Amino acid sequence: MRLHLLPFLCTLLLSQALAGGDDSAVPTRICGTRTFSDTERAEREARFRLAYAGARSELRTTWSVVKTVTLPVWFHVIYKRDSDGRRLGFVPKAVVQKQIDVMNKAYRGSGFQFRLAGISRTENATWFDGCMDDSTLEESFKALLARNPARNLNMYSCNSASGTLGYAYFPADGPEGDYHHGVVLKYDSLPGGADPFGDGITAVHEVGHYLGLYHTFEGGCSVTGDEVSDTPSERRPAFGCAVYRDSCGGRVGKDPVANYMDYSDDSCMSTFSIGQIERMQQQVSAYRPALLE
Protein backbone atom coordinates (compact mmCIF):
# COMPACT_ATOMS: atom_id res chain seq x y z
CA MET A 1 0.00 0.00 0.00
CA ARG A 2 1.49 3.32 -1.07
CA LEU A 3 1.72 5.98 1.60
CA HIS A 4 0.00 9.10 0.35
CA LEU A 5 1.41 11.61 2.82
CA LEU A 6 4.75 13.04 1.80
CA PRO A 7 7.67 12.39 4.14
CA PHE A 8 9.48 15.02 6.10
CA LEU A 9 12.29 16.41 3.97
CA CYS A 10 14.89 18.29 5.94
CA THR A 11 17.00 20.28 3.55
CA LEU A 12 20.30 22.02 4.15
CA LEU A 13 20.17 25.43 2.51
CA LEU A 14 22.11 28.64 2.97
CA SER A 15 19.32 30.98 4.00
CA GLN A 16 18.98 34.60 5.02
CA ALA A 17 17.20 35.41 8.26
CA LEU A 18 13.46 35.69 8.15
CA ALA A 19 12.15 39.23 8.30
CA GLY A 20 11.98 40.40 11.88
CA GLY A 21 13.95 37.39 13.13
CA ASP A 22 17.30 37.17 14.86
CA ASP A 23 18.73 34.27 12.88
CA SER A 24 21.81 35.23 10.86
CA ALA A 25 22.72 33.87 7.42
CA VAL A 26 23.65 30.34 8.48
CA PRO A 27 23.16 26.84 7.06
CA THR A 28 19.64 25.75 7.95
CA ARG A 29 17.37 22.74 7.99
CA ILE A 30 14.22 23.45 5.98
CA CYS A 31 11.41 20.95 5.37
CA GLY A 32 10.30 20.73 1.76
CA THR A 33 7.18 18.67 2.39
CA ARG A 34 3.53 19.38 3.07
CA THR A 35 2.60 20.97 6.36
CA PHE A 36 -0.67 20.46 8.16
CA SER A 37 -3.21 23.18 8.61
CA ASP A 38 -4.81 23.53 12.03
CA THR A 39 -7.87 21.70 10.68
CA GLU A 40 -5.84 18.84 9.20
CA ARG A 41 -3.82 18.47 12.37
CA ALA A 42 -6.97 18.43 14.48
CA GLU A 43 -8.40 15.66 12.31
CA ARG A 44 -5.21 13.63 12.62
CA GLU A 45 -5.19 14.08 16.38
CA ALA A 46 -8.82 12.99 16.66
CA ARG A 47 -7.98 9.78 14.78
CA PHE A 48 -4.93 9.28 17.00
CA ARG A 49 -6.99 9.58 20.18
CA LEU A 50 -9.39 6.93 18.87
CA ALA A 51 -6.53 4.66 17.84
CA TYR A 52 -4.83 4.98 21.21
CA ALA A 53 -8.08 4.37 23.09
CA GLY A 54 -8.59 1.26 20.99
CA ALA A 55 -5.09 -0.11 21.57
CA ARG A 56 -4.88 -3.24 23.70
CA SER A 57 -4.67 -2.37 27.37
CA GLU A 58 -1.36 -4.19 27.79
CA LEU A 59 0.15 -1.96 25.10
CA ARG A 60 -1.00 1.19 26.86
CA THR A 61 0.63 0.02 30.09
CA THR A 62 3.86 -1.29 28.49
CA TRP A 63 5.89 1.70 29.57
CA SER A 64 5.02 1.43 33.26
CA VAL A 65 6.04 -2.25 33.26
CA VAL A 66 8.90 -2.61 30.78
CA LYS A 67 10.30 0.93 31.07
CA THR A 68 12.45 0.63 27.93
CA VAL A 69 11.79 -0.98 24.54
CA THR A 70 14.82 -1.70 22.37
CA LEU A 71 14.14 -1.33 18.64
CA PRO A 72 16.16 -3.45 16.19
CA VAL A 73 17.73 -1.29 13.47
CA TRP A 74 18.53 -2.47 9.96
CA PHE A 75 20.88 0.04 8.38
CA HIS A 76 20.99 0.06 4.58
CA VAL A 77 24.03 1.77 3.03
CA ILE A 78 23.53 2.87 -0.59
CA TYR A 79 26.71 4.01 -2.34
CA LYS A 80 28.33 4.45 -5.75
CA ARG A 81 31.81 4.50 -7.27
CA ASP A 82 33.34 7.58 -8.87
CA SER A 83 35.43 7.58 -12.05
CA ASP A 84 38.49 6.53 -10.05
CA GLY A 85 36.70 3.61 -8.44
CA ARG A 86 36.37 5.22 -5.02
CA ARG A 87 33.25 4.30 -3.07
CA LEU A 88 31.21 7.44 -2.39
CA GLY A 89 28.84 7.18 0.54
CA PHE A 90 30.25 3.86 1.72
CA VAL A 91 29.65 3.93 5.48
CA PRO A 92 31.84 1.69 7.67
CA LYS A 93 30.25 -0.39 10.41
CA ALA A 94 32.02 1.71 13.05
CA VAL A 95 30.21 4.85 11.83
CA VAL A 96 26.87 3.05 11.76
CA GLN A 97 27.44 1.95 15.35
CA LYS A 98 28.38 5.51 16.33
CA GLN A 99 25.05 6.64 14.87
CA ILE A 100 23.22 4.09 17.00
CA ASP A 101 25.19 5.30 20.02
CA VAL A 102 24.17 8.92 19.32
CA MET A 103 20.53 7.85 19.10
CA ASN A 104 20.74 5.89 22.34
CA LYS A 105 22.23 8.86 24.16
CA ALA A 106 19.55 11.21 22.83
CA TYR A 107 16.69 8.82 23.64
CA ARG A 108 17.96 7.79 27.06
CA GLY A 109 15.07 8.02 29.52
CA SER A 110 12.44 8.13 26.76
CA GLY A 111 11.51 4.45 26.88
CA PHE A 112 13.30 3.80 23.58
CA GLN A 113 16.73 2.42 22.86
CA PHE A 114 18.18 0.97 19.67
CA ARG A 115 20.40 -1.95 18.72
CA LEU A 116 22.04 -2.66 15.40
CA ALA A 117 20.39 -5.77 13.95
CA GLY A 118 22.26 -5.72 10.65
CA ILE A 119 23.79 -3.74 7.81
CA SER A 120 23.15 -4.12 4.09
CA ARG A 121 25.25 -2.44 1.42
CA THR A 122 24.09 -1.75 -2.12
CA GLU A 123 26.14 -0.23 -4.93
CA ASN A 124 23.66 1.66 -7.09
CA ALA A 125 24.52 5.08 -8.50
CA THR A 126 20.94 5.90 -9.46
CA TRP A 127 19.61 5.20 -5.98
CA PHE A 128 22.55 6.93 -4.33
CA ASP A 129 22.06 10.21 -6.18
CA GLY A 130 18.25 10.26 -6.31
CA CYS A 131 17.04 8.56 -3.14
CA MET A 132 15.86 11.80 -1.53
CA ASP A 133 14.33 13.49 -4.54
CA ASP A 134 12.52 10.84 -6.60
CA SER A 135 9.48 9.00 -5.20
CA THR A 136 9.81 6.33 -7.91
CA LEU A 137 13.29 5.50 -6.69
CA GLU A 138 12.01 5.38 -3.13
CA GLU A 139 9.54 2.71 -4.23
CA SER A 140 12.30 0.60 -5.76
CA PHE A 141 14.99 0.75 -3.08
CA LYS A 142 12.65 0.40 -0.11
CA ALA A 143 10.69 -2.47 -1.69
CA LEU A 144 13.94 -4.37 -2.18
CA LEU A 145 15.87 -3.47 0.96
CA ALA A 146 13.35 -3.05 3.81
CA ARG A 147 13.49 -5.76 6.48
CA ASN A 148 10.14 -6.45 8.18
CA PRO A 149 9.15 -2.79 8.84
CA ALA A 150 6.57 -3.81 11.44
CA ARG A 151 9.29 -5.14 13.74
CA ASN A 152 12.41 -3.24 12.67
CA LEU A 153 13.42 0.37 12.23
CA ASN A 154 14.84 0.52 8.71
CA MET A 155 17.37 3.30 8.12
CA TYR A 156 18.91 4.18 4.77
CA SER A 157 21.92 6.36 3.93
CA CYS A 158 22.53 7.87 0.49
CA ASN A 159 23.17 11.25 -1.17
CA SER A 160 20.94 14.15 -2.16
CA ALA A 161 21.36 16.46 -5.13
CA SER A 162 19.01 18.96 -3.49
CA GLY A 163 20.83 18.90 -0.15
CA THR A 164 18.04 17.04 1.64
CA LEU A 165 19.26 15.83 5.02
CA GLY A 166 16.63 13.21 5.73
CA TYR A 167 13.00 12.18 5.89
CA ALA A 168 10.63 9.83 7.67
CA TYR A 169 6.95 8.93 7.78
CA PHE A 170 4.60 9.26 10.76
CA PRO A 171 3.31 6.07 12.40
CA ALA A 172 -0.22 6.96 11.23
CA ASP A 173 0.78 7.30 7.58
CA GLY A 174 0.20 3.66 6.69
CA PRO A 175 -0.01 0.08 8.02
CA GLU A 176 2.89 -0.75 10.32
CA GLY A 177 4.20 -3.37 7.89
CA ASP A 178 4.34 -0.99 4.93
CA TYR A 179 7.85 -0.91 3.48
CA HIS A 180 7.83 2.89 3.16
CA HIS A 181 8.20 3.26 6.94
CA GLY A 182 11.69 4.06 8.13
CA VAL A 183 14.24 6.86 8.01
CA VAL A 184 16.32 8.03 5.03
CA LEU A 185 19.49 10.04 5.76
CA LYS A 186 22.08 11.95 3.78
CA TYR A 187 25.25 9.98 4.39
CA ASP A 188 27.31 12.96 5.56
CA SER A 189 24.79 13.74 8.32
CA LEU A 190 26.12 10.68 10.17
CA PRO A 191 28.73 11.11 12.93
CA GLY A 192 31.93 12.55 11.50
CA GLY A 193 30.09 14.22 8.63
CA ALA A 194 29.87 17.81 7.45
CA ASP A 195 29.35 20.64 9.95
CA PRO A 196 27.02 21.93 11.26
CA PHE A 197 24.89 18.82 10.69
CA GLY A 198 27.48 16.06 10.94
CA ASP A 199 27.08 14.83 14.51
CA GLY A 200 24.30 12.30 13.85
CA ILE A 201 21.46 14.46 15.19
CA THR A 202 19.55 14.39 11.89
CA ALA A 203 18.83 10.72 12.61
CA VAL A 204 17.60 11.61 16.11
CA HIS A 205 15.29 14.23 14.59
CA GLU A 206 13.95 11.92 11.87
CA VAL A 207 13.39 9.03 14.29
CA GLY A 208 11.33 11.51 16.31
CA HIS A 209 9.03 11.85 13.28
CA TYR A 210 9.04 8.05 12.85
CA LEU A 211 7.82 7.80 16.46
CA GLY A 212 5.10 10.40 15.97
CA LEU A 213 6.50 13.84 16.81
CA TYR A 214 5.79 17.04 14.90
CA HIS A 215 8.29 19.86 14.66
CA THR A 216 8.27 22.13 17.70
CA PHE A 217 7.18 25.04 15.49
CA GLU A 218 4.22 23.13 14.03
CA GLY A 219 1.13 25.27 14.49
CA GLY A 220 3.19 28.36 15.25
CA CYS A 221 1.90 30.34 18.21
CA SER A 222 -1.49 28.59 18.30
CA VAL A 223 -2.72 27.01 21.51
CA THR A 224 -2.27 23.41 20.32
CA GLY A 225 1.01 24.00 18.49
CA ASP A 226 2.89 20.71 18.05
CA GLU A 227 0.23 18.86 20.10
CA VAL A 228 2.59 18.61 23.07
CA SER A 229 1.63 20.83 25.98
CA ASP A 230 5.08 21.26 27.55
CA THR A 231 6.98 22.45 24.47
CA PRO A 232 6.74 26.25 24.31
CA SER A 233 5.04 27.74 21.27
CA GLU A 234 7.37 28.74 18.42
CA ARG A 235 6.41 30.93 15.49
CA ARG A 236 9.08 29.60 13.11
CA PRO A 237 12.03 27.21 13.09
CA ALA A 238 15.26 28.11 14.85
CA PHE A 239 18.50 28.09 12.88
CA GLY A 240 22.05 28.02 14.19
CA CYS A 241 21.71 28.18 17.97
CA ALA A 242 19.35 31.08 18.67
CA VAL A 243 19.26 30.77 22.47
CA TYR A 244 16.94 33.11 24.36
CA ARG A 245 14.79 33.64 21.25
CA ASP A 246 11.10 34.23 22.03
CA SER A 247 9.10 34.30 18.80
CA CYS A 248 5.71 33.95 20.53
CA GLY A 249 5.88 36.83 23.00
CA GLY A 250 3.18 36.67 25.62
CA ARG A 251 3.10 32.87 25.73
CA VAL A 252 4.87 30.82 28.39
CA GLY A 253 8.49 29.92 27.72
CA LYS A 254 11.17 30.88 25.26
CA ASP A 255 11.56 29.03 21.97
CA PRO A 256 12.68 25.39 22.43
CA VAL A 257 15.76 25.79 20.24
CA ALA A 258 17.61 22.95 22.01
CA ASN A 259 14.79 20.50 21.28
CA TYR A 260 15.62 17.70 18.87
CA MET A 261 12.50 18.51 16.84
CA ASP A 262 13.54 22.09 16.00
CA TYR A 263 15.97 23.04 13.19
CA SER A 264 19.00 24.16 15.20
CA ASP A 265 22.56 23.02 14.50
CA ASP A 266 23.45 19.54 15.74
CA SER A 267 25.62 20.99 18.52
CA CYS A 268 22.68 23.01 19.86
CA MET A 269 20.20 20.14 20.18
CA SER A 270 20.05 18.20 23.43
CA THR A 271 16.55 17.41 24.65
CA PHE A 272 13.07 15.94 24.31
CA SER A 273 10.33 17.16 26.64
CA ILE A 274 8.37 14.89 28.98
CA GLY A 275 5.29 15.48 26.85
CA GLN A 276 7.13 14.46 23.70
CA ILE A 277 8.26 11.25 25.40
CA GLU A 278 4.67 10.46 26.38
CA ARG A 279 3.48 11.17 22.84
CA MET A 280 6.08 8.86 21.27
CA GLN A 281 5.09 6.06 23.63
CA GLN A 282 1.40 6.56 22.88
CA GLN A 283 1.95 6.77 19.11
CA VAL A 284 3.85 3.49 19.10
CA SER A 285 1.18 1.83 21.26
CA ALA A 286 -1.52 3.00 18.84
CA TYR A 287 0.18 2.53 15.47
CA ARG A 288 3.32 0.38 15.82
CA PRO A 289 2.34 -2.34 18.35
CA ALA A 290 4.56 -4.98 16.72
CA LEU A 291 7.59 -3.02 17.94
CA LEU A 292 6.45 -3.78 21.49
CA GLU A 293 6.09 -7.54 21.05
Spatial distance between the Cα atoms of 159 and 188, rounded to a whole number of angstroms: 8
Amino acid 10 reads: C
Q: 206 catalytic, yes or no?
A: yes
The DSSP code sequence of the chain is ----SPPP-EEEEEEPPPTT----SEEEEEE-S----HHHHHHHHHHHHHHHHHS-HHHHTHHHHT--EEEEEEEEEEEEE-TT--EETPPPHHHHHHHHHHHHHHTTTTTEEEEEEEEEEEE-HHHHHHTTT-HHHHHHHHHHH---TTTSEEEEEE--TT-EEEEE--GGGS-TT-TT-SEEEEGGGSTT-STTS-SSHHHHHHHHHHTTPPPTTTTTTSSSTTS-TTSPP-SS---S--TT--SSTTSSS---TTBTTS---GGG--B--HHHHHHHHHHHHHH-GGGG-
Active-site pick, 40, 176, 206, 227: 206
Buried b (16+ CB within 10 A) or exposed e, 151-189: bbbbbbbbbbeebbbbbbbbbbbbeeebbbbbbbbbbbb
- Point out the residues that are catalytic: 206
